[in-house]
Structure 1
Amino acid sequence: MTWQLIKDAIRGKEQDFTQLSLKTAIVVLAIPMILEMMMESLFAVVDIFFVAKLGEDAIATVGLTESVIVLVYAIGFGISMAATALISRRFGEKRYRDAGAAAFQLLLVGGAISVVLGVFGWIFAADILSLMGAEDSVVKSGVMYSRIIFAGNTAIMLLFLINGAFRGAGQAHHAMRSLWIANGLNIILDPLLIFGLGSFAGFGLEGAAMATTLGRGIGVVYQLFHLFGGKNKLKITKQDLVIKWKTIRKIMNIAAGGMGQFLIDSVSWIALTRMNAEFGSASLAGYTIAFRILIFTILPAWGLSGAAATLVGQNLGAKEPLRAEQSVWLTVRYAVVFMASVTGIYLLFADQLAGFFTDIPEVREVAAQGLQVIVLGYVFFAVGMVLTQAFNGAGDTKTPAWINIGVLWFLEIPLAYILAFPVGMGHLGIFISISFSHSLHAVVAYLIFRKGKWKLIQV
């Protein structure tokens, strides 16, 4: 029975998630989402593994660029949340044609925004790196890498938002496959385009940006093929190829809160990265490596919490609010078990994990310290991720945004600054602030979620 469920999940057998038992529904949804996010996290680890061989400046360039490109991620995630909320609600109501029409409007919104961001990023790449505190050598060697990443943000944006639509429809297998294609190609292209092969010399750091952009671009092609020519219930037909301003306004209303969540989180991350830059490239490189390793377990947990978003949206659409809430608490239980199990691994093997990516003693020490301190809040992180996704699946994207403002802006940033500079703890103070603040974030989300106002949101 269990093996059959796993096969159905990976193959993409369509299910009615308003009727399946909750344990079965979570398994069927979560397996492809976890596999999807495992590949996404593997991409992050592999990418930094190869870039690290180019030296501290290359690692610092990636860290600084990502701290800004995360703003693109924020917008992409925001629209993705709108996609999941809208599509899951329509599927719960069995209004499949309306779901397809909404998917086209999502493409229009995401595509237009990404073009504007790409032009801006290409023109001001050097200024952005300098503003983030990059040393002159980092700006000189990394500006083209940043330009390519910024210019290729359309692939990032569409990959996120279309996968959000697939998840909302319960078609998590398409989201999984698109990321496996995108990141699988990146893993193959990374060493080839960075270091070359035979008489081909490679492009160095710029090759890493090319590999990422090409891989994600092919992943988007796969997505579009199944959206426009697929055989599943979520598909875009010729009749859907019209602009519907009412739907676009609804998308922007939901996405605004989602964008706010990640923009607030991103500003916090940028601030923390900027603080780390004050301690030199070695500290910044260690910080970057630590987060790349942590992503390997955070993203799968985020994939698990995505099951809660889909179940909340579809069950609210089916007028089953109690079932929606039950699905959240069951998912919380699974996420806590997962995050608790990996906490011990990081505490015991932090130095060895950091050493896998760099043999520079100063960088390795910072990365290992970051792993050991941040994972102390991992169990709380699990609760916070699931509850945040549950709010988003209900279409209540503004509540998590307000929580982010209160905890991340008014606690995490000031606390990190005080511990790092006046107290003199340096990068350790920043790591302590991250662990404590995100743990408190989970507690606040829990207290608000228990009130149940998210059940009344109309999408």
Structure 2
Amino acid sequence: MIGTNTNINQERSSLLQLIKQSIKGDAFDYTQGSIRKAVILLAIPMILEMVLESVFALVDLYFVGHLPNSSVAIQVVGLTESVLSIIYALAIGLSMAATAVVARRIGEKNPQLAAKAGMQAIIVAFMINMFISIFGFLYGKDILILMGASTSTAEAGEPFIQIMMAGSLIIVLLFLINGIFRGAGNAAIAMRSLWIANISNIILCPIFINGFGPVPAFGLTGAAIATTIGRSLGVIYQLYSLMQGNGVLKMKLAYLKPDLQQIVTLVKIAAPAILQFVIASCSWIFLAQLVATTGGDHGSAGYQTALRIMMFFMLPAWGLSNAASTLVGQNLGAKNIDRAEQSVRQTAIFSICFMSFVMFITYVFGPKIIGFFTEDALIQEIAVEATYIMSLGYVFYGIGMVLVNAFNGAGDTWTPTWINFFGFWLFQIPLAYLLAKLFEFGPTGVFIAVPVAETAICIAGYFLFKRGRWKTIKV
């Protein structure tokens, strides 16, 4: 009995040390030693990072959900987030390319080239995103109307979407620079940047929305102001950490000089990575528009509420799956192909456990969670239905995310792009349209199409992963 208690205490102490090491960001060689330990060291800060990223939308949703005209405010926030998903696609695609290249160079024990690759990725981000920011600012109202919002809703939400789109470069940099840190195996700095951004947002949201002292009440627009400022502070911390040379990477201003060969390499990896997430994002935009046209303002607000809550649970799983990306990249760089594959399997096991727990929480506490964000009974009813239906595929979502990140970490960004194209555009969208329109299920048809398509995508990803083409990709 004494021996058993001693073992338990030792295991607890070991786990606490591991958690402390992961959050602190101590240096660790992910190409050697225990795979399980490597996954945990990377996954803990990555999960916390994504939890904090998901908090942005929930904080906005909470505060605007308690404004007088909450259905309009919630719809504007939700539709804007759906449009911003294209920006997220750009940001994630670029960060995937940066992670793949940086991780491969770190695995090859060449941190100088890894640092250069990271800085070149930042140059690419600036070049691409300036046009998107200007377009989004000028045509914000038209974008909301195109998404299915009424004219009055679009007019009310125009300042909100203009500020969010104008600050899209900040969103891209926040994702991209964190991708650079993750590729280097320093997920703790990425996590801290989201801490700074989110704490700032939580403090600033009620100030700018409701007013405080000399700051007037901006209402819905205040949420956009607070979020943009919060993210900007996170980016400032990232840039400071890069220039200080914290961790493996030692950045220099000289690395900002454009290197055409390096830029071409990044673009070749990033282009299909961006496309794969654009494909997925456009699918979500179509679904949002379909719900808005078949379910009206309350149907749209209910769906957007459920979607934000689902993303809150999904992003931590995405953070967990990011561990697979770093481990695959670094181990392929070190020529440890079997270890790269084993890392994906271990990460998938953790993901299955996590998403199973999330599904349980969703079904037990779903109505209470939704009630926290809106007091409108009709919005609550639709949101609960959407949450219950979409959460049926949680386990498959989790496995699918691990596989996608494994492909991307290897630099094989085309495989998940084709999977998304067939899964979303040729399956999910037609299925949702048929169920919602032809079979007259309305928004419920859209809700059903989500887990069905995600399950099919997961199965396709598994078979392609087993084929092993990703093991042969050169970066």
Structure 2 length as normaliser, TM-score? 0.95
Equivalent of residue 336 in structure 1, options 338, 352, 359: 352
Distance in 1 (CA, whole Å) between partners of 2:234 and 2:250 is 17
Hey, what does 1:387 align to over in structure 2?
403
Return the offset for 1:137.
1.3
Unpaired runs of 5+ residues, structure 2, are: 1-13
Equivalent of residue 328 in structure 2, options 304, 309, 312: 312
Quick check: 1:353–1:368 contact (8 Å CA) kept in 2?
A: no
Return the offset for 1:199.
5.8
* Identical residues among aligned pairs (%): 48
Quick check: 1:289–1:354 contact (8 Å CA) kept in 2?
A: yes
Return the offset for 1:44.
2.1
Aligned residues between the structures:
459
Quick check: 1:226–1:235 contact (8 Å CA) kept in 2?
A: no
Return the offset for 1:349.
2.4
Hey, what does 1:30 align to over in structure 2?
43
Distance in 1 (CA, whole Å) between partners of 2:371 and 2:107 is 48
Hey, what does 1:12 align to over in structure 2?
25
Return the offset for 1:24.
0.7
Hey, what does 2:129 align to over in structure 1?
114
Distance in 1 (CA, whole Å) between partners of 2:214 and 2:15 is 50
Deviates more, 1:222-231 or 1:279-288: 222-231
Return the offset for 1:201.
3.2
Deviates more, 1:351-360 or 1:272-281: 351-360
Deviations 1:43-89 (A, max 9, x none): 22222011111211111111111111111111111000001000000
Distance in 2 (CA, whole Å) between partners of 1:367 and 1:7 is 38
Counterparts of 1:80-95 in structure 2 under 5 Å? 80-95=95-110
Equivalent of residue 445 in structure 1, options 442, 445, 461: 461
Distance in 2 (CA, whole Å) between partners of 1:251 and 1:196 is 44
Counterparts of 1:426-437 in structure 2 under 5 Å? 426-437=442-453
Distance in 1 (CA, whole Å) between partners of 2:209 and 2:246 is 39
Hey, what does 2:383 align to over in structure 1?
367
Deviations 1:196-223 (A, max 9, x none): 1246432111110001100000100000
Hey, what does 1:244 align to over in structure 2?
259
Whichever residue aligns with residue 402 of structure 2, its letter is: V
Distance in 1 (CA, whole Å) between partners of 2:87 and 2:56 is 18
Structure 1 length as normaliser, TM-score? 0.98
Deviations 1:282-311 (A, max 9, x none): 011001110111112101111110101000
Distance in 2 (CA, whole Å) between partners of 1:252 and 1:408 is 24
Counterparts of 1:52-63 in structure 2 under 5 Å? 52-54=65-67, 55-63=70-78
Runs of 4+ in 1 over 4 A off after TM superposition: none
Distance in 1 (CA, whole Å) between partners of 2:467 and 2:215 is 61
Return the offset for 1:257.
1.3
1:2 matched to 2:18: no
Hey, what does 2:343 align to over in structure 1?
327
Distance in 2 (CA, whole Å) between partners of 1:243 and 1:359 is 52
Deviates more, 1:51-60 or 1:325-334: 51-60
Counterparts of 1:31-46 in structure 2 under 5 Å? 31-46=44-59
Q: CA RMSD in A?
A: 1.0
Return the offset for 1:231.
3.2
Hey, what does 1:206 align to over in structure 2?
221
SS in 2 for 1:16: coil
1:182 matched to 2:197: yes
Quick check: 2:272–2:413 contact (8 Å CA) kept in 1?
A: yes
Deviations 1:220-256 (A, max 9, x none): 0000011112232212114323110111111111001
Distance in 1 (CA, whole Å) between partners of 2:468 and 2:350 is 21
Unpaired runs of 5+ residues, structure 1, are: none
